[in-house]
């Protein structure tokens, strides 16, 4: 298995050892020959990326899905599954309607199905797995994301359910396994409406709202662990002195005399080792800090030892030592800091949609290409807009040095059945805003999904800002939510509502303005906050042959320019205005957006990523005026 080095351009790609291959010989019902895989094909006549054209059942997302807790014994369950669509309340089907390629959602071209799940329907999956359970070992079944309400059975016995379409969940399936063939069944129900957290998904795509995503849309996998094992690790860092704090979390029955050993290294050189229990504090004299210019990462080997010192479980992780903060400049304006130094956040609004996979990138390489493009184009930050990406996305940002603002996935952006609004009137930055009314039960689910996202992503040094709300979408209990986020994770800054409705909470005052950037400096109350332009630009340009649907409205903010020269001139004008705003106190600018998305033609790249509208080198040259720390 490849070790994860901070200067390596590749990720760890865990491969099961010989013993694991014997234990987990995986087969899919009905595949006895290669005929089913040979027969699979993407939905025809759909826009495809160059990576999507290379997707086959045998290569669909084969990479290890959890880079910050990497275990050697694992098995990928992506590939062809049986599927069926039934009425919402129907029993498990006895006949299947065809094959679907996991982990691509039902509606996507890469699923091979391309059907739309209705709110009164359920989507079912089934596959068979050949297993040979081993005494003293446990088997965990992991789902990286299923949209939205999922229920899972193994051999006809319920494993449990999960509500929430954006974060990972797992089951210990050991006690329900049987030698030989095991039947795994998943049911997904997804209304894509109401107060369900779904981001930009809608039943009727148009404008800024996109195609629905239902069912499994990230990797499904198995891992084998010992009876007592490392289930998680919480990592935090400080810089004076350079310190990594680690709190390993253990599962299973506690062993007498057990202890944990942690070894830190960088570029293959062992730096420090510690043994014990509870929280570890590793101090590195002259330690190397993490930043966009120097994204140094410490590799961590975490081992669980029994009383005799035998290793009974081990995982690999990593950490970047950095501190996020704020301070006033010479003019009294609050600025972002990283490791105590002022840094201007310059990035794009990045929605992470793909024409062939929808929310699922066609491949790991495709996903990383977007980040690499932005880095080469002179950006040092990405606002990940109301989507939780596969965990490998954040690991790639850690490795290349890209700051991230992470949005909570929104809900409640349409009319409710009772006629009440789940979102308040959008008053932007005006004083005395209103909040929507959500019941205690609805709010509890919203908070449960927020906490799950923060827990899943907490160890990534690239994430520097949490954004609970966007433009009043589902905005409720804003002050309470913001206070909770600040207390739960004091290591990052909080933008209570990007684009408003602004409440006096958190660290940031965020204004949206299209097409050119602006900020209401006249309101002196914002001087107590870091002032940012959280969205602007959106300059559109249609590239012939690379438009999602020529029969629908295709648009950009301010209307589409007549020539490519006019398009670039509009971009430069917005950039010059942002430069002026920076001098007046603006600490961040976020341009809309990385790529075209369906009818929105305002990307720096076309939706299929085939055309770069302005070369990265040209963009990097233009961006130098902003003085953002970017390059290694």
**Per-residue pLDDT, 229:** 97
With 90 as the cut, is the pLDDT of residue 548 above it? yes
- How is residue 577 written in tokens? 């205005």
**486-518: per-residue pLDDT in tens?**
999 999 999 999 998 999 999 999 999 999 999
Instruction: For residues 458 and 452, give the distance between their C-alpha atoms in angstroms, rounded to a whole number.
Output: 10
- Superfamily in which the 229-319 domain is placed by CATH: Immunoglobulins (2.60.40.10)
**Per-residue pLDDT, 628:** 66
**Per-residue pLDDT, 18:** 31
Query: In the structure, what pLDDT confidence band is assigned to residue 297 with cuts at 50, 70 and 90?
Result: very high
**Per-residue pLDDT, 175:** 92
* Mean of the per-residue pLDDT values of the chain: 92
Q: Nearest-CA neighbor of 505 among 495, 514, 513, 515?
A: 495
Domain ranges within the chain, ordered by starting residue: 18-226, 229-319, 324-626
* 47 touches 608 (CB < 8 A): yes
Q: 130 forms bridges with which residues in the sheet?
A: 25, 181
**Per-residue pLDDT, 131:** 83
**382-392: per-residue pLDDT in tens?**
999 999 999 99
Q: Give SS3 for 455.
A: helix
Q: What is the mean pLDDT of residues 99-127?
A: 97
With 80 as the cut, is the pLDDT of residue 418 above it? no
**248-286: per-residue pLDDT in tens?**
999 999 999 999 999 999 999 999 999 999 999 999 999
Q: What is the mean pLDDT of residues 182-193?
A: 96
Contacts of 96 (CB under 8 A, 6+ apart): 82, 83, 84, 124, 126
DSSP 119-139: TTEEEEEEEEEEE---TTEEE
With 70 as the cut, is the pLDDT of residue 125 above it? yes
Q: Which residue has the tokens 């969940």?
A: 169
Q: What is the mean pLDDT of residues 589-609?
A: 98
Q: What is the mean pLDDT of residues 127-152?
A: 93
With 50 as the cut, is the pLDDT of residue 362 above it? yes
With 90 as the cut, is the pLDDT of residue 19 above it? no
* H/E stretch holding 338: strand 334-338
In CATH terms, the fold of domain 18-226 is Jelly Rolls (2.60.120)
With 60 as the cut, is the pLDDT of residue 25 above it? no
With 70 as the cut, is the pLDDT of residue 22 above it? no
What values do phi and psi take at 236, rounded to 5? -140, 160
Contacts of 317 (CB under 8 A, 6+ apart): 68, 69, 70, 233, 235, 299, 300, 302, 459
Query: In the structure, what pLDDT confidence band is assigned to residue 415 with cuts at 50, 70 and 90?
Result: low
In CATH terms, the fold of domain 324-626 is TIM Barrel (3.20.20)
């Amino acid at each position: 298995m490849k070790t994860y080095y901070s200067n390596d351009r590749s990720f760890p790609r865990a491969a099961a050892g010989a013993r694991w291959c014997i234990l987990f010989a995986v087969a899919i019902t009905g595949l006895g020959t290669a005929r089913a895989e040979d027969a699979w094909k993407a939905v025809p006549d759909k826009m495809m990326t160059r990576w999507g054209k290379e997707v086959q059942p045998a290569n669909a997302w084969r990479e290890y899905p959890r880079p910050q807790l990497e275990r050697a014994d694992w098995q990928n369950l992506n590939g062809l599954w049986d599927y069926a669509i039934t009425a919402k309340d129907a029993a498990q089907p006895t006949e299947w309607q065809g094959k679907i390629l996991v982990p691509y959602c039902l509606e996507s071209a890469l699923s091979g199905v391309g059907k739309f799940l209705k709110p009164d329907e359920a989507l079912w999956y089934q596959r068979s797995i050949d297993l040979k359970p081993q005494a003293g070992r446990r088997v965990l079944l992991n789902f990286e994301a299923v949209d939205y309400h999922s229920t899972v059975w193994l051999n006809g016995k319920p494993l449990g359910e999960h509500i929430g379409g954006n974060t990972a969940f797992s089951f210990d399936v050991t006690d329900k396994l049987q030698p030989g063939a095991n039947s795994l069944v998943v049911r997904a129900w997804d209304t894509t409406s109401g107060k369900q957290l779904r981001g930009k998904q809608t039943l009727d795509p148009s404008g800024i709202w996109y195609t629905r995503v239902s069912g499994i849309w990230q990797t499904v996998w198995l891992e084998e662990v010992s009876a007592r094992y490392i289930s998680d690790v919480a990592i935090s860092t400080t810089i004076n002195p350079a310190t990594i704090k680690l709190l390993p979390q253990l599962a299973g029955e506690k062993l007498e005399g057990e202890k944990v050993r942690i070894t830190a290294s960088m570029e293959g050189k062992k730096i420090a080792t510690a043994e014990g229990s509870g929280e570890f504090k590793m101090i590195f004299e002259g330690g190397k800090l993490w930043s966009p210019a120097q994204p140094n990462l410490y590799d961590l080997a975490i081992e669980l030892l029994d009383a005799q010192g035998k290793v009974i479980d081990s995982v690999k992780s990593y950490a970047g030592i950095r501190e996020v903060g704020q301070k006033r400049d010479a003019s009294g304006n609050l600025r972002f800091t990283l490791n105590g130094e002022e840094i201007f956040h310059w990035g794009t609004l990045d929605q992470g949609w793909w024409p062939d996979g929808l929310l699922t990138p066609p491949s790991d390489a495709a996903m990383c290409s977007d980040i690499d493009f932005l880095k080469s184009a002179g950006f040092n930050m990405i606002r990940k807009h109301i989507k939780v990406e596969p965990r490998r996305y954040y690991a790639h940002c850690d490795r290349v040095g890209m700051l991230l603002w992470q949005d909570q996935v929104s809900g409640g952006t349409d009319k409710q059945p009772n006629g009440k609004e789940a979102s308040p009137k959008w008053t932007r930055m005006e004083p005395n805003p209103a909040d929507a009314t959500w019941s205690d039960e609805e709010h509890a689910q919203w908070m449960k999904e927020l906490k799950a996202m923060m827990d899943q992503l907490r160890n990534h040094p690239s994430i520097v800002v949490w954004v609970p709300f966007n433009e009043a979408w589902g905005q409720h209990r804003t002050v309470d939510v913001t206070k909770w986020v600040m207390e739960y994770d004091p290591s990052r800054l909080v933008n209570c509502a990007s684009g408003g409705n602004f409440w006096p909470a958190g660290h940031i005052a965020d204004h949206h303005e299209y097409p050119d950037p602006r900020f209401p400096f006249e309101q002196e109350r914002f001087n107590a906050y870091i002032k940012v332009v959280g969205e602007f630009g959106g300059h559109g340009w249609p590239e012939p042959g690379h438009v999602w649907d020529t029969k629908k409205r295709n648009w950009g903010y301010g209307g589409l320019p007549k020539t490519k020269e006019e398009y670039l001139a509009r971009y430069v004008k917005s950039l010059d205005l942002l430069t002026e705003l920076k001098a007046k106190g603006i600490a961040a600018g976020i341009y809309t957006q990385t790529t075209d998305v369906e009818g929105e033609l305002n990307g720096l790249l076309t939706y299929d990523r085939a055309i770069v509208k302005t070369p990265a080198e040209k963009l990097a040259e233009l961006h130098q005026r902003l003085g953002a720390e970017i390059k290694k």
